[in-house]
Amino acid sequence: MALLSLRRVTKRYPGVTALDSVDLEVDGGSVHALVGENGAGKSTLLRILAGAERGDAGLLELAGERLALANPRDALRRGITVIYQEFALVPQLGADANILLGMEPLRRGLLDAAAARERAGRALCDLGAGFDPSTPVERLSTAERQLVELARALVRDARIVALDEPTAALSNRESEHLFAQMRRMAARGVGVIFVSHRLEEVRSVADRVTVLRDGRRVFTGGLDGLDDRALIRHMVGRDVEYERTAGQGTCGDVVLEVRSLSRRLRFADVSFTLRRGEILGLAGLVGAGRTDIARCLSGADAWDGGSVLLRGEEFRPRTPADAIGAGVACVPEDRKAQGLVLSLKVRENAALASLRRFARLGVIRRGEEIAAVARQVNAVGLPADTLERTTGTLSGGNQQKVVLAKWLLANADVLIVDEPTRGVDVGAKVEIHRRLRALAAAGKAILVISSELPEIMALTDRILVLCEGRVNAEFVTADAQPESILAAALPGGEAA
């Protein structure tokens, strides 16, 4: 019998089903890899395992016993440790204090630092860590922090340890060391869950693999006799069929020319051109540098190498206001944190970037504001009666349209759209695609960043694939295969 089994676990968010009746069995003493595209549901699965989120349906069993995890503390007590990419460590505290957080050894009611140091030291030593157990975590490297998290699982006698893309920031040697520790834990009977995008890593460390796609389990099996091509086919599959608008654009002159743009540690030597009427896609994994490029072009961050020409002239925005003034605007990926002021009304959000135009001596002319906003709100397909509603009460799709209306109102020429349909229901997705295509047809130049391959395939004219901060491949959408795009996006994958 499997050590851990999930039965028909389902999790819905407003407008999205993140997990749809997923089954998963993890045996003790083995490493089980979990793979899938961004948004396939891996993170949600881990959060449910960690007790950080509750499923809407389905059940969890650990060693044949039903679990009802109310919170992360519950999960830890039952022996389930989930190690996220952003570590759950307190940076100012020592490694030992972090390892024993919540289970501090006491002596006569007071903290027993010596015992803590000793116990944590033993666990760290076991994992081959060579640093002083009392070192504050903020002074440790990523690889060392990972070991602290693993030691934390060790001292809690964890039966299930799940790692979310643990090697994303590690060197090869560090990764090898981590894999050795994962296998040692498995050898002691622990069930290890390993989430990764790197197929060769999955091969080298895992015994079995489960593929998730669009919140569903599409494959589980041993890795023997399964080649990368087959694995990728499982990951891509075709489920959501969008209306294809690709290649409909009649491209005009070049608006934006990016020449070997670089930002340290983020992306390097990125070059491309963007034409009027064109929708260019930036594909790649989360963290491949796509959002960083968008932030640089829209003035939110600075680049440190290369140059950009906008309508043939040198373009170097120092602030978002500069970029907006030049007609370059970004619809950010995190709508709630970066795109909108949710406490303002729809009208106020839509007008936020162009208030100067409606103000005389600093006083806003309400009539002009309303008329102009109403026009754009209409152009993006928002019902007119939403104008005076608080933005936070709108659905995700409509909120996204408010952001679009804001940039149209600000006369943006170049629109960078980061994950345009994240957290938006399917009907609204199709509509947003249509609106973007209509904007391109009206002469805007659009750069679309998306983690959803079907979206990139449906929406764009050309595709640039980024991998670890570099352009790995370029495709004309009409001739591209999703498999070759994904292959170019995976680290160590072949550029097609």
For residue 339, the one-letter residue type is G
CA 268 from centre of chain: 20
Which of 74, 104, 431, 474: binder of another protein (CB under 8 A)?
A: 431
Tokens of 116: 């803590």
Judged by CB, which is closer to another protein: 121, or 339? 339
Which residues on adjacent β-strands are paired with residue 331? Answer: 417
Residues comprising the chain, all counted: 496
Stretch that binds another protein, among 161-169, 238-246, 273-281, 348-356 (CB under 8 A): 348-356
The residues in 300-319 that bind another protein, with binding defined as CB under 8 A, are: 300, 319
91 CB-side CA count, 13 A = 5
Rule CB under 8 A: say whether 395 interacts with another protein. yes
Which of 381, 387, 470, 496: binder of another protein (CB under 8 A)?
A: 381
CB 392 to another protein: min, Å: 6
- Measured CA to CA, the distance from residue 296 to residue 458 in angstroms comes to 26
CB 425 to another protein: min, Å: 7
Rule CB under 8 A: say whether 180 interacts with another protein. no
Rule CB under 8 A: say whether 70 interacts with another protein. no
Rule CB under 8 A: say whether 430 interacts with another protein. no
Rule CB under 8 A: say whether 228 interacts with another protein. no
Question: What is the size of the binding site for another protein (CB under 8 A)?
Answer: 48
Tokens of 192: 């290890």
Tokens of 30: 């083995």
3-state secondary structure of 363: strand
Rule CB under 8 A: say whether 437 interacts with another protein. no
Which of 338, 470, 474, 491: binder of another protein (CB under 8 A)?
A: 338
Judged by CB, which is closer to another protein: 199, or 353? 353
Stretch that binds another protein, among 86-94, 109-117, 193-201, 421-429 (CB under 8 A): 421-429
3-state secondary structure of 154: helix
CB 140 within 8 A of CB 148: yes
**Burial of residue 135, with CB atoms counted within 10 A of its CB: 0-12 exposed, 13-18 middle, 19 or more buried:** middle
**Alpha-carbon distances, residue 403 vs 147, 307, 320 (angstroms):** 42, 28, 15
Judged by CB, which is closer to another protein: 180, or 321? 321
Query: How many secondary structure helices (H) and strands (E) does the chain include?
Result: 17, 24
Give contact residues for another protein (rule: CB under 8 A).
14-15, 298, 300, 319-321, 324-325, 330, 332, 337-344, 348, 351-353, 355-356, 359, 362-364, 366, 381-383, 386, 390, 392-395, 397-398, 401, 406, 410, 425, 427-428, 431
